[in-house]
Structure 1
């Protein structure tokens, strides 16, 4: 059922935010290798701005476990995005409405006009398929001059809450959320459609690789974190292919 009343949307978002904030008071957050990379989970240092790339199923864990500021979140123009927009504002972030299918040009314009903001995008949204990249984040990075930072999130114990086409990862009380960030992927300006498709494939591979690493880590293979960094020349040449 879709709720179009703004007040009801606000009430739903407020209640959900309060519930999750209370839950996450009991949840421990762990951020491996923060010193080595830009991160969507704490305020990055320096003047560079990034497009942070996270799967849709990790959005709740990321929003309530991270501490990033100066962050815009790209939210779908579909009705389902209304609830998230209110919640994003309550968390002190800047919602930008748009997606690969609706409002993308307007969203890009807003972000170009906000050069001081990082931006977080769930590239498999708004309607899936789950963990399958769309090219919107690469287009946005190419037009706004932001590098893409891929991320992976999991927890030691969690519920997989049904949410339409993708479950949401909800950490259980007193669990640990592990949030991993990869190396920035440089995206050249003004890419053609074919080049955008090629870089999208590269980002998909990197997201899949990080998911495998973070799962190894939570399963007890602490040394898996050493596999996160990639040769910078490899990343640059792939992005410029």
Structure 2
């Protein structure tokens, strides 16, 4: 019983608060520039809702950046690690919806649809929680299809990075790094696509994200584009 309470204290309080403190401390040193903001802002200014879509590998700079985009709902797995992540996003003021493709996914998708109708923006890590890396899973397309929300790719790229030994080589920009947050053009998902259309949409979004990440990462080797973005 004592061990269980101690574990709950670690995962519900110590780790989330301590981790978020370190994330905020590190993020405060970043020099962030936004590229193509109108792809997001035109939807929001018109009173619309959307689904932010990003790779798991790159979402670190977005943890604090998107804290001012509330209300946001995000799907998180029902694993123990997911419990800590859910607690962290709750502290940020986001809404954690527990579920994944392997467990609780249908109910989580239904909850996301309801929240979207209530005015929540949706954040979605397209290849989480365990990959395959860079491959869009069905959940993103289902959310956009059922809630009739445009998908807006969110591309985050840092100049100087730590890469961890995880399934996706998770990346964290080093202190005082220059960071680009880029919004891709909205992708509209038809309500009725048929079986073949669903798979084609998955492939289309997967390829779009890959191209945007590759193009954004190439900025660090292009002095002209760097000057345009950072001055």
Q: Same fold (TM over 0.5)?
A: yes
Q: Which has the higher helix share?
A: 2
3-state SS in 2 of match to 1:209 = helix
Distance in 2 of aligned mates of 1:167 and 1:84: 18
- SS state at 2:40 partner: coil
Aligned to 1:29: 32
Residue by residue over 1:1-29, the C-alpha shift from the partner in whole angstroms, topping out at 9 and shown as x without a partner, is xx993221021111110111111111121
SS at match of 1:189: coil
Give aligned pairs, total: 218
Distance in 2 between residues matched to 1:102 and 1:160, nearest whole Å = 29
Q: Does 1:157 align with 2:160?
A: yes
Matches within 5 A, 1:45-56: 45-56=45-56
Shift of 1:223: 4.8
Shift of the alpha carbon at 1:48?
1.2
User: Partner residue of 1:214?
Assistant: 216
Which residue pairs with 1:94 in the alignment? 95
TM-fit CA distance, 1:221? 5.5
CA contact (8 A) 2:109 2:139 kept: no
Distance 2:224 2:202 in 1: 29
What SS does the corresponding residue of 2:190 show, helix, strand or coil?
coil
Name 1:38's counterpart in structure 2: 40
189-198 or 146-155, larger mean C-alpha shift: 189-198
Contact 1:151 1:210 in 2 (8 A): no
TM-score, normalised to structure 2, is: 0.86
3-state DSSP of counterpart to 1:73: strand
What SS class does the counterpart of residue 106 from structure 1 fall into?
Answer: helix
CA drift at 1:77: 1.9
SS of the residue corresponding to residue 131 of structure 1 reads coil
Q: For residue 61 of structure 2, what is the aligned residue in structure 1?
A: 61
Asked if the contact 2:71–2:120 (Cα under 8 Å) also holds between the matched residues in 1, the reply is: yes
Q: Structure 1 residue 65: deviation in Å?
A: 3.0
User: Which runs of 5 or more structure 2 residues have no equivalent in the other structure?
Assistant: none
2:56/2:127 contact within 8 Å kept: yes
Matches within 5 A, 1:176-187: 176-187=178-189
Does residue 14 in structure 1 map to residue 22 in structure 2?
no
Q: Structure 1 regions of 5+ residues with no counterpart? A: 227-241
Deviation at 1:82, TM superposition (A): 1.1
1:189-228 correspondence to structure 2 within 5 Å = 189-220=191-222, 223=225
